[in-house]
Chain A
Amino acid sequence: MLRARVLKRLGAFALEAALEAEDRSILVLVGESGSGKTTLLRLLAGLLRPDEGRITLGSDVLADTASGIAVPAEARAVGYVAQDHALFPHLSVFENVAFGLHASAVASGSVRSRVDAALRRLGVAELARRKPHELSGGQQQRVAIARAIVLEPRLLLLDEPLSALDLKTRQGVRGELRRLLATLPCVTVYVTHSPTEAMALGERIAVLERGRVSQQGTRDDLMRHPRSAYVAAFLGVNFFRGAPAGPLADGWERIATPEGDFAIARAAGEGQAALVVHPREITLSRERPAGSARNVFMGTIEEMVPEPPDGERVRVLLATSPALVAEVTQPSIEALGLRAGETVFAAFKATGVTVIH
Chain B
Amino acid sequence: MSAAGAGATAAGAGATARPGRGLLMNAAMAAAVTLLLAFLALPLLSLLLRIAPGQVLARLGEPVVLEALRLSLLTSVIATVVVIVLGIPTAYLLATRQFPGKRLVEVLIDLPMVLPPTVAGFALLMAFGRMGLAGRSLAALGITLPFTTAAVVIAQVFMAAPFFIAPTRAGFAGVDPRLRDAAATLRASEAFTFFRVMLPLTVPSIVAGTAMSCARCLGEFGATITFAGNLQGTTQTMPLAVYVALQSDLDGAVALSVLLLLMSFGLLLGLRSAPAGWFWTRTSAARPRS
B197 x A73 contact (CB < 8 A): no
Contacts of B186 in A (CB 8 A): 74, 99-100, 103, 147-148, 151
CB of A202 within 8 A of chain B?
no
A133 x B184 contact (CB < 8 A): no
A74 x B182 contact (CB < 8 A): no
Complex Cα–Cα for A84 and B197 (A): 17
Per-residue 0/1 for B181-208: is the Cβ within 8 Å of any A Cβ (1 yes, 0 no)?
1111111110010001100110000000
Residues of B233-290 at the interface with A, using a CB-CB cut-off of 8 Å, are: 280, 283-286
Q: How large is the interface on A (under 10, 10 to 19, 20 to 34, 35 or more residues)?
A: 20 to 34
Q: How large is the interface on B (under 10, 10 to 19, 20 to 34, 35 or more residues)?
A: 20 to 34
**Chain A residue at minimum C-beta to C-beta distance from B178:** A86
A78 x B185 contact (CB < 8 A): yes
CB of B176 within 8 A of chain A?
yes
Contacts of A148 in B (CB 8 A): 185-186
Known: A89-B285, A89-B286. A82 touches B182 (CB 8 A): yes
Q: How far apart are A163's CB and chain B's nearest CB, in angstroms?
A: 14
Complex Cα–Cα for A212 and B201 (A): 38
Residues of A38-64 at the interface with B, using a CB-CB cut-off of 8 Å, are: 42, 45-47
Complex Cα–Cα for A74 and B181 (A): 9
Cβ-defined partner of A88 (8 Å) among B184, B197, B283, B284? B197
B185 x A73 contact (CB < 8 A): yes
Known: A89-B280, A90-B200, A133-B284. A45 touches B188 (CB 8 A): no
CB of A75 within 8 A of chain B?
yes
Most buried by A among B178, B201, B286: B178
Cβ-defined partner of B188 (8 Å) among A46, A84, A100? A100
Contacts of A47 in B (CB 8 A): 181, 184-185
Complex Cα–Cα for A99 and B283 (A): 21
Known: A47-B184, A73-B181, A80-B182. A89 touches B189 (CB 8 A): no
Complex Cα–Cα for A84 and B179 (A): 10
Complex Cα–Cα for A72 and B184 (A): 8
Known: A131-B285, A133-B283, A133-B284. A86 touches B184 (CB 8 A): no
**Chain A residue at minimum C-beta to C-beta distance from B196:** A99
Complex Cα–Cα for A75 and B186 (A): 9
Chain B contact residues, CB within 8 Å of chain A: 176, 178-179, 181-189, 192, 196-197, 200-201, 280, 283-286
Q: Which 4 A-B pairs have the closest CB atoms?
A: A89-B285, A100-B186, A103-B188, A80-B185
Chain A contact residues, CB within 8 Å of chain B: 42, 45-47, 72-76, 78-80, 82, 84, 86-90, 99-100, 102-104, 131-133, 147-148, 151
